[in-house]
Chains A and B, each alone.
Chain A
Amino acid sequence: MSVKYAETEPATGKSTYVGQGVDRRDGPAKTTGQARFAAEFPYPDLAYAALVHATIARGRITALDTTAARAVRGVIDVLTHENAPAMKPAPKMSVLDLSSIASGTSVNYLATDEVHWNGQPIAVVVAETPETARYAASLVRPSYQELPASVDFAAEEPNAVPEKGIPIMESGADKGDAHAALAAAPVSVDLRFSTPPYNHNAIEPHATTAVWDGDHLTLHEGAQNIPWLRKHLAQRFGVPETSVRILSPYVGGAFGGKSRAWAGTLLAALAARATGRAVRLALTRAGVYHTVGGRTPSAQRVALGADAAGRLTALIHTSVSRTARIGGMPEPITAASHHLYAAPNIHLAQNVVQLDLLPNTFMRAPGESIGTFAVESAMDELAWQLGMDPIELRMRNEPERGPVGGQRFTHRMLKEAYALGAERFGWSERDPRPGVMRDGRWLVGMGVATAFHPSMRMPAQVTVRLEADGTLVVRSGMHEMGMGTATVQAQIAADEMGVPLESVHVEYGDSDLPPGPGAIGSVQTASAAAGVIDACAKLKKSALALARRAPGSPLRGRKLEELQARDGGLHHARGSQTYAEILTAAGRDHLEAESKAGMLGFVARTVLERRRKVRAATGAQFCEVRVDPDTMEVRVSRWLGVFDVGTVINAKTAASQLRGGIVMGIGMALSEQTLIDGRDGRIVNPSLSEYHLPVHADVPHIDVHYLNEPDPTTPLGLLGIGEVGITGVAAAVANAVRHATGRRVLDLPITLDKLL
């Protein structure tokens, strides 16, 4: 494959570490139990908090009897709307200050007698032991005046209204007359899809340890976005941002679920302030379901029209998502449909309905994950109608430019991805007829789907510091939820500076560090990399300047462009110096450089750039399923994904993230769903025993390939990899099931009852 023109400056260091499958730096800590998570920081006066949850969907608390709870020995306090200190209201969402996104809901906890969702926290018990707190919480007796509530998505979905667009997310679009083209198309499909609510279910339930010292708050918290959370907490508690310290060295999984300030975080801080104790609030698993939003359910329509040769003439994709009256954001369900296929007539529209439920929130590839299920299932169905191979159908409709806006693709290698995938997966062995491939008694099916996720970048501040002994310290408040954050940034910094990987230290997960990018929207690695590269460039410049001032330096008179950063210093054929030598000669014990980037202008840049370019990670998902012909149990037996994610920094951790997305997609396709009772809005399966995450036995070997072609418009050619892995997965499964059984399931998850 050809190397493309790079718009960004090439790295001046050579690639020694970038691309290698380096072991994770936190591996020893995580495999020996030394890695401490938020609920594991001891304090001598630590108290434990537990939440009391409402059991009605909407109404008012008419009485809250805490007598029995207070009488339990070891109870320190019971906080309710009648006695809790007031927090300031949650900031309203504004694109001018993206930290406002941290408001998970507009509800101000323990401020009023109002109940807005079934499960809303209405009291907090603080006690000397966790068992006492939880038991006493069960003794708090609320009385309610119930009010009518809308909680049933399926019933309310027809009343959805067009959503208000958010500038940083894609929403509706129109090109040509898609409805007329559909009506005139010789071949067409018109399908209605539905997807259930899903929950993140990071294995670490949300936990907070909060400690006040005067007006200074220290918070141990698994956070995906330290700067946003810090600002939010400062606003809610009326203290300066500098008075809030957030420590988040390890995050036990997040997937979007730890990107906002949910009830547990706020109420831990509130309880600590009210009691004067260090307070730990570790949510129960059910508590997570009741207080942390999940993925919206959706109702979708995809209609496709094509000519007999399989060229699309019409593409219609409309969606309904669900937010809450008290918060939530519409999810860009049709976003990928802007960019996938070269249809001359396109209609995309996103609608939303507001219910009396806990607001939805970001969950791995919000929008694209469920949107690609619908559009990629419909493409497969169209292929069946045409009697055409589904890969061939996609290739015939591969666009040269953005199908809606005519933007330029910075990078588009889906043809290559499908070609490689088909070869490696053995696609040619697929008998195109449904229900004829067998392995023993099992029905076998093969399906494909396209993965697509936009690649964005957010501002990141980074400092890099050279010590006189040659050590390099990279500092940025980044987040480690399992992506290998420190490892990949160390690889980048080591290459940029030309120092051994072992001599690079990376500090992250602390609000005292320069603010890092949020670990959201697959932006963290590329965003931080931009900062690291920039800071390293400045550092090398400073080092050279120091050297040039030193009498007798072999680098005197040299320009940076003539030098190579390697072997721990700056090199030229006619003379080199290590950084240690440079610093020692100058009498300096260290040298530091900083990369700064503000949020100002970011939104405007993103919006403007989107008009001109489409930048996305893409991939081809290949799935093989086995279906038991008697029970219709579906098991995924093989998986292969070929991804175009730009440059891969760490072959090991990148593959793991892509696999992780695929595994979550398999769960989404086959077994996961959050059941919400349509009568009272109560979550019926708030547990890991009844919400079925994939287990070991559900997951086959997943073969991951990447094209490893740098994107010409990003630092190091990086595209985000955190979310693209899940996109297309559910469709690939559904398409394989269609092939194995002849049955098209439009309603996730594909449980066996839908195939019987």
Chain B
Amino acid sequence: MRPFAYVKAADVESAVQAAAEPGTKFLGGGTNLVDLMREGVEQPDTLVDVTGLPYDTVEELPGGGLRVGAMVRNSTLAADRRVRARYPVLSQALLSGASGQLRNMATVGGNLLQRTRCPYFYDIASACNKREPGSGCDALEGFNRGCAILGVSDHCIAAHPSDMCVALAALDAEVEVRGVSGTRRVPLAGLHRLPGDTPQVETALEAGDLITAVELPPVPVAARSRYRKVRDRASYAFALVSVAAALGVDDGTISEVRLALGGVAPKPWRAREAERLLTGGPADDAAFRRAAEAEFASATVRQGNAFKTTLAVSTIVATLRELNEGAAR
């Protein structure tokens, strides 16, 4: 990888100051960034190691929510008893991602900023507008089996790879960001951007912005929630499609539903249209299917990833059915 300077952040102020300089990146667990640097995709001048900053705990919020420090490791968060009880979807999402070793390294902050696994993004000999704006997109007519079908543009069809983020999207999480001009909060739904004609701009973060925490609001319905990940092998693979869902059913009628999707969009995709159609309606397969199909009405598919619509619809139906049957028991 290209030589770079390494700075261990002593405190958040100096970290943010240092990272405001061009060519500087924060280093968390390194599980994605170090890989991308070795491939020449990322070439920072300076890495600011933030893993020593005191954001490594999960704390109670008034009202039953949780505040998760950005340096908390994925495995720690997945194992947290409160997370498992209140937000099983989040624990399951984390545990379905990567491997035991990687989860022990990866931080929550780093996971939020994971970059796409599109093979043309990874190969610097290929054309990729995300990596090299204006160079084109080899995925459009190439191998795009893993690529997105919702929210894509003619410039980029790369899918967001995180599992954790899909669960966070369903939970209406908020991200706390420390920047040069102070602290602000960004809803998870607003953290990641769709590619449009600037696929290189992936988030709403500015230079120097450091994610310090993720806040989970109380979501009672999430006590019965589920993360379902569909992939090419039984473990240790990125999602073709994933579904984060929570379902509240009252006497056969859906009182509340949370639905977010992974593997199908350039960002963790909250399926608001499907949620709207489901809420107040019957909890049965036909309704689940109608809502899921509506969510994908605007899908833009290509030869390699056309199957994702069918797969996503049936995975949504199956996940909601499972939650519904669980509720009935």
Interface residues of A (CB under 8 A from B): 55, 131, 134-135, 138, 628, 630-633, 635, 670-671, 675, 677, 679, 682, 684-685, 687, 689-690, 692, 694-698, 751-753, 756
Instruction: Specify which of A631, A635, A677 lies most central, judged by the most chain B CB atoms within 10 Å of its CB.
Output: A631
A628 to B230, alpha carbons, bound, how many Å?
10
Tell me the count of chain B residues lying within 8 A, CB to CB, of chain A.
Answer: 35
16 A-B pairs with C-beta separation under 8 A: A55-B125, A131-B1, A628-B318, A630-B314, A635-B234, A671-B232, A679-B141, A684-B119, A685-B119, A690-B117, A692-B232, A694-B233, A695-B235, A697-B234, A697-B235, A752-B240
A682 to B241, alpha carbons, bound, how many Å?
26
A756 and B307 contact, Cβ closer than 8 Å, known pairs A682-B126, A698-B233, A698-B234: yes
A756 and B143 contact, Cβ closer than 8 Å, known pairs A135-B3, A671-B232, A696-B235: no
A134 to B240, alpha carbons, bound, how many Å?
33
Residues of B with C-beta under 8 A to A682 = 123, 125-126
A171 to B38, alpha carbons, bound, how many Å?
45
A383 to B2, alpha carbons, bound, how many Å?
60
Measured CB to CB, the nearest residue on chain A to B139 is A684
Whether B120 is near chain A, meaning CB under 8 Å from some CB there, is yes
Q: Is the CB of B318 within 8 A of A631?
A: yes
Residues of A with C-beta under 8 A to B138 = 677, 679
Q: Is the CB of A135 within 8 A of B311?
A: no
Whether B6 is near chain A, meaning CB under 8 Å from some CB there, is no
Q: A635-B234, A697-B236 are in contact. List 18 more A-B contacts (CB 8 A).
A: A55-B125, A131-B1, A135-B3, A628-B318, A630-B314, A630-B315, A631-B241, A631-B314, A631-B318, A632-B311, A633-B231, A670-B232, A679-B141, A682-B123, A682-B126, A684-B142, A751-B232, A756-B311
Chain B residues 295 to 322 lying within 8 A of chain A, measured CB to CB, are 307, 310-311, 314-315, 317-318
A752 and B230 contact, Cβ closer than 8 Å, known pairs A679-B141, A695-B236, A697-B235: yes
Which among A696, A698, A753 is the interface contact of B311 at CB below 8 angstroms?
A753
Chain B binding surface, main DSSP class: loop
Residues of A with C-beta under 8 A to B134 = none
Residues of B with C-beta under 8 A to A751 = 232
Residues of A with C-beta under 8 A to B85 = none
A698 to B236, alpha carbons, bound, how many Å?
10
A671 to B240, alpha carbons, bound, how many Å?
13
A695 and B143 contact, Cβ closer than 8 Å, known pairs A630-B317, A752-B311: no
Residues of B with C-beta under 8 A to A628 = 318
Interface residues of B (CB under 8 A from A): 1-3, 38, 40, 117, 119-120, 122-123, 125-126, 138, 141-143, 145, 230-238, 240-241, 307, 310-311, 314-315, 317-318
Which among B120, B122, B230, B238 is the interface contact of A631 at CB below 8 angstroms?
B230
A135 to B125, alpha carbons, bound, how many Å?
15
A630 to B123, alpha carbons, bound, how many Å?
34
Q: Is the CB of A138 within 8 A of B310?
A: no
Which among B40, B307, B315 is the interface contact of A753 at CB below 8 angstroms?
B307
A671 and B311 contact, Cβ closer than 8 Å, known pairs A138-B40, A682-B125, A685-B119: no
Residues of A with C-beta under 8 A to B238 = 689
Residues of B with C-beta under 8 A to A698 = 233-235
Distance (whole angstroms) from the CB of A530 to the closest CB of chain B: 41
Q: Is the CB of A135 within 8 A of B1?
A: yes
Measured CB to CB, the nearest residue on chain B to A132 is B3
A55 to B125, alpha carbons, bound, how many Å?
6
Measured CB to CB, the nearest residue on chain B to A756 is B310
A405 to B120, alpha carbons, bound, how many Å?
50
Measured CB to CB, the nearest residue on chain B to A53 is B125
Q: Is the CB of A675 within 8 A of B143?
A: yes
Which among B142, B241, B310, B318 is the interface contact of A677 at CB below 8 angstroms?
B142
Residues of B with C-beta under 8 A to A695 = 233-236
Distance (whole angstroms) from the CB of A673 to the closest CB of chain B: 10
Measured CB to CB, the nearest residue on chain A to B238 is A689
10 closest residue pairs by CB, A with B: A753-B307, A630-B318, A697-B234, A697-B235, A55-B125, A630-B314, A684-B119, A631-B230, A698-B234, A756-B310
Residues of B with C-beta under 8 A to A692 = 232-233, 237
A694 to B237, alpha carbons, bound, how many Å?
10
Distance (whole angstroms) from the CB of A395 to the closest CB of chain B: 34
A451 to B156, alpha carbons, bound, how many Å?
45
Residues of A with C-beta under 8 A to B142 = 677, 679, 684
Residues of A with C-beta under 8 A to B122 = 687
Residues of A with C-beta under 8 A to B40 = 138
Residues of B with C-beta under 8 A to A689 = 117, 238
Distance (whole angstroms) from the CB of B152 to the closest CB of chain A: 18
A67 to B238, alpha carbons, bound, how many Å?
40
A685 to B145, alpha carbons, bound, how many Å?
12
Residues of A with C-beta under 8 A to B125 = 55, 682
A628 to B40, alpha carbons, bound, how many Å?
39
Measured CB to CB, the nearest residue on chain B to A693 is B233
A753 to B119, alpha carbons, bound, how many Å?
19
Distance (whole angstroms) from the CB of B267 to the closest CB of chain A: 21
Residues of B with C-beta under 8 A to A670 = 232-233
Distance (whole angstroms) from the CB of A26 to the closest CB of chain B: 26
A303 to B232, alpha carbons, bound, how many Å?
31
Residues of B with C-beta under 8 A to A753 = 145, 307, 311
Measured CB to CB, the nearest residue on chain A to B99 is A695
Residues of B with C-beta under 8 A to A134 = 1, 38
Residues of A with C-beta under 8 A to B117 = 689-690
A689 to B318, alpha carbons, bound, how many Å?
27
Distance (whole angstroms) from the CB of A136 to the closest CB of chain B: 11
Measured CB to CB, the nearest residue on chain A to B145 is A753
Residues of A with C-beta under 8 A to B315 = 630-631
Residues of A with C-beta under 8 A to B230 = 631, 633, 752
Distance (whole angstroms) from the CB of A282 to the closest CB of chain B: 14
A631 and B311 contact, Cβ closer than 8 Å, known pairs A695-B235, A695-B236, A696-B235: yes
A756 to B125, alpha carbons, bound, how many Å?
34
Residues of B with C-beta under 8 A to A135 = 1-3
Residues of A with C-beta under 8 A to B311 = 631-632, 752-753, 756
Residues of A with C-beta under 8 A to B237 = 692
Measured CB to CB, the nearest residue on chain A to B146 is A690
A724 to B212, alpha carbons, bound, how many Å?
56
Residues of A with C-beta under 8 A to B38 = 134
A135 to B318, alpha carbons, bound, how many Å?
48
A692 to B233, alpha carbons, bound, how many Å?
7
A192 to B227, alpha carbons, bound, how many Å?
39
Distance (whole angstroms) from the CB of A578 to the closest CB of chain B: 53
A684 to B236, alpha carbons, bound, how many Å?
19
Distance (whole angstroms) from the CB of B95 to the closest CB of chain A: 12
A138 to B3, alpha carbons, bound, how many Å?
12
